[in-house]
Amino acid sequence: MTAPIKNSNPVIVDVALGDRAYDIVIGRDALGSLGERVKKLRPNARVAIVTDKTVAQHWLTKTEAALTQAGIESACIIVGEGEASKSYAVLQDVCEGLIAAKIERNDLVIALGGGVVGDLAGFAASIVRRGVDFVQVPTSLLAQVDSSVGGKTGINSPHGKNLIGAFHQPVLVIADTSVLDTLSPRQFRAGYAEVAKYGVLGDEAFFAWLEANHAEIFSGGAAREHAIATSCRAKAAIVARDERETGERALLNLGHTFGHALEAATGFSDRLFHGEGVSVGMVLAAEFSAHLKMIAPSEAERVQRHLAAVGLPTRLQDIAGFQQEGLGDADALMTLMAQDKKVKRGRLTFILLEKIGKAVIANDVDAPTVRNFIAEKLAHKPGR
């Protein structure tokens, strides 16, 4: 299978949620249409942009210009970079900034940034004046294919990732693929883990296409936009069927039970980006599925091989400072996994595989079995 012919028109993916449906607009230079799309959605609305320092340097001027051309004035709130901004203190700053900018319930918040900004700004929008609509303008690959779609917003707790938050759907998502040109290779790779996730959990043909075309996705062009659109369609379909994660939507957490624990163990720092944690977590989930004889070991090896081929970490030992902060301690990791949002009455829930392209929700997984599996992986030595 080859990459599709490049289309100069943006791709529109509909998130079908009835009267709360919205479009994901995907394409190179789609940011230029932001002002007109906002004007059509909310005539005469005030707008506040929430972004981080690095994104502001690259894309704030263009975003403000797109709004100005449509006759829309905007205020701006700039936060620090990274997971540290998903905190109570920064949430308070953003909320107070929105109130100071006189953002009211008929106005709009624009989240201009990666997953951190989207989660933070979306959560602030959900609680300021008991709910203000917002627009996602994701500037990382991870945000474009995952966190900007579906309405999950929130901040972190010292106990774990995304434990404080709300479901608050955006009214529009603008995924401008040209903004990805400013990402570092490591940031792009981290986002690619979420792209691969859609193939692993529900579309073996897409996973096979990624195996054949990942180099072109990294270099840009039609393959990149096709991968983003396919990922967004996959997530939009699941969200439309299960908006509040009462069932099927939990499948989107493939790799996240392990991955979130690893992020917490590394202090939500740049030692381990979210997508990197998901990559290691997906491999662990695949290998745990093989451990339980749900899939053949060769299937788990195929997942590991592809993620390693694009330069993502796939083993616990690949994480910087592996022996620090509980990463080498199976019991400490189990404690962190016990804080996962999918835990019910203390019972662990994992997303596991019956094959590549078919993930399943495994409730009430035996904790000692998980602990022994982690201990075995921690004992793995490179080259073995």
The answer, yes or no, to whether residue 2 has pLDDT greater than 70, is no
Q: Which candidate in 245, 263, 287, 299 is catalytic? A: 245
Cβ atoms of residues 13 and 23 within 8 Å? yes
Cβ atoms of residues 228 and 175 within 8 Å? yes
Q: What average pLDDT does range 252-260 have in this prediction?
A: 94
Cβ atoms of residues 131 and 106 within 8 Å? no
User: Is residue 253 annotated as a catalytic residue, yes or no?
Assistant: yes
Cβ atoms of residues 173 and 148 within 8 Å? yes
User: Is residue 256 annotated as a catalytic residue, yes or no?
Assistant: yes
> Token pair for residue 139?
């500037």
CB atoms within 10 A of CB 52: 21
User: Is residue 306 annotated as a catalytic residue, yes or no?
Assistant: no
Q: What is the mean pLDDT of the chain?
A: 93
> Token pair for residue 199?
């193939």
Which of these, 170, 172, 117, 114, lies nearest to 144 by C-alpha position? 114
Q: Give per-residue burial for 30-51: e unless 16+ CB within 10 Å, then b.
A: bbbbbbebbbeebeebbbbbbb
Instruction: Assign 313 to helix, strand or coil.
Output: coil
Q: Which candidate in 214, 274, 291, 341 is catalytic? A: 274
Q: What does residue 299 show for φ and ψ, rounded to 5 degrees?
A: -70, -45
> What pTM was computed for the model?
0.91
For residues 198 and 333, which has the higher predicted lDDT (pLDDT)?
Answer: 198
CA dist 261 and 335 (Å) reads 9
CA dist 292 and 347 (Å) reads 18
User: Is residue 235 annotated as a catalytic residue, yes or no?
Assistant: yes
Dmax over CA atoms of the chain, in Å, equals 63
What single letter denotes the amino acid at residue 238? I
Q: Which candidate in 152, 233, 291, 302 is catalytic? A: 152
Cβ atoms of residues 256 and 232 within 8 Å? no
User: Is residue 152 annotated as a catalytic residue, yes or no?
Assistant: yes
Q: Summarize pLDDT for 223-252 with one digit per residue, the tens.
A: 999 999 999 999 999 999 999 998 999 999
Q: Which candidate in 42, 46, 168, 235 is catalytic? A: 235
Q: Summarize pLDDT for 14-36 with one digit per residue, the tens.
A: 999 999 999 999 999 999 999 99
Domains for the chain: give ranges and CATH numbers.
Answer: 11-182 (3.40.50.1970), 254-384 (1.20.1090.10)
The whole-number pLDDT of residue 107 equals: 97
User: Is residue 130 annotated as a catalytic residue, yes or no?
Assistant: yes
